[in-house]
Amino acid sequence: RSDAPPAMGVVPCAPPSAAARWLLAAAVSSPILWATQALRLENGMALSPQQVAATRGKGCPGHGQRGLPLRPRYTNHRQVACSDRTEWIQTYDHEAGRDVLLKVFLFDSGNESRYLVREDPQDDATRDAIQRAKAACSSAQGAQSMWHLDKQGASRIQQCYEDRSGVLSVHATEALHVVFEHCGALDLRGWLEQNWSAGTLSLHLVQHLWGQLQHGLAYLTSYKDSKWVHRAITPESILVCGDDSGADTLPSVALKISDFEAADHAVVGP
């Protein structure tokens, strides 16, 4: 990256690169964040733009050929990314009146790749992918248990709305999936890179997001009856939602912690 002159609204007393790199270094090296070993998860909730570009379309069934077998409440499907066993779909939930992010599982018989339904056989890799998604959903829901005590802190956690990855209520021909809160397409690393390239990375804005991250992490460990240890806090596991930059948009720029398959409920008490 070149050290271009700071744009309007960017800290004038130092090159933007210095402020941005210092804050990013603080974000990824703080003892608060790295109190536990950081694990990079192959199928984590957050995908950087580079990862999305690298995985788009690989091993994924075509929507136009087979369609996505879901309940009628979901429309306007858009593929975000996929791996060998899962696919991320952004879709609109008409009952809830919002966009959601579905983690849908894939069936690969060797001759075809399609969406996994309840009656399909599952190999070890597929079962592992489902268990990881179930764990992420369960932990994210558990971490929300104290939301009534700190709604702002709870809002820093990416929610899991519903687990339909194998419960008996899932229709035999419905794709197995887990429903997560939709929060834009950029993780913290991608957001920093995008705003740095655009010259819109202000110190004030990054500090605003850093404060949200600290609040979210404090929320996870503040209440003696519900403490959570997140073992994969990295720039890729932190999502940035809302408008992309600028002091005027601070109220609409939000940060959320994802990748809760690497979170554990802490043991509290004697």
What mean pLDDT do residues 226-245 have?
76
**E strands in the chain:** 74-82, 86-93, 98-108, 113-115, 160-164, 177-181, 186-187, 228-230, 238-241, 254-257, 263-265
Structure confidence at residue 2 (pLDDT): 36
Reported as a pLDDT band with limits 50, 70 and 90, residue 68 is: confident
Listed in order, the ranges of the chain carrying CATH 3.30.200.20 are 57-181
Reported as a pLDDT band with limits 50, 70 and 90, residue 28 is: very low
Structure confidence at residue 241 (pLDDT): 84
Least confident span in 140-144, 161-165, 257-261: 257-261
Structure confidence at residue 163 (pLDDT): 94
Residue 69 CA neighbour count, 13 Å, CB half: 17
Token digits for 51? 């990862």
Structure confidence at residue 53 (pLDDT): 38
Structure confidence at residue 206 (pLDDT): 81
pLDDT over threshold 90, residue 243: no
Q: Please state, as a whole number, how many other Cβ atoms lie within 10 Å of the Cβ of residue 83.
A: 17
Reported as a pLDDT band with limits 50, 70 and 90, residue 268 is: low
Residue from 225, 97, 210, 206 nearest 156 by CA: 210
Sole residue written with tokens 């950081």 = 38
Name beta bridge partners: 93: 74, 98
Structure confidence at residue 221 (pLDDT): 84
- Residue 50 sits at the vertex; the CA angle it makes with 32 and 33, to the nearest 5 degrees, is 5
Selected from 1.10.3720.10, 3.40.50.1000, 3.30.200.20, 3.30.465.10, the CATH number assigned to the domain covering 57-181 reads 3.30.200.20
Mapped onto helix, strand or coil, the DSSP state of residue 144 is: coil
CA distance 269 to 155: 27
Residues 172-190, buried b or exposed e (16+ Cβ, 10 A)? eebbbbbbbbbbbbbbbbb
Higher pLDDT, 194 or 253: 194
Which amino acid would we find at residue 7? A
Structure confidence at residue 162 (pLDDT): 94
Q: What is the pLDDT of residues 89-131, one digit of tens each?
A: 999 999 999 999 999 998 877 776 788 888 888 889 888 889 9
Reported as a pLDDT band with limits 50, 70 and 90, residue 38 is: very low
DSSP letter for 29, please.
H
Q: What is 186-250 written as a DSSP string?
A: EEHHHHHHHHHHHT---HHHHHHHHHHHHHHHHHHHSBTTB-EEES--SGGGEEEES--S-GGGG
First and final CA of the chain: distance in angstroms?
52
Reported as a pLDDT band with limits 50, 70 and 90, residue 223 is: confident
Q: Please state, as a whole number, how many other Cβ atoms lie within 10 Å of the Cβ of residue 122.
A: 16
Q: Calculate the average pLDDT of the chain.
A: 72
Reported as a pLDDT band with limits 50, 70 and 90, residue 80 is: confident
**CB-based contacts of 122, cutoff 8 Å, min separation 6:** 116, 130
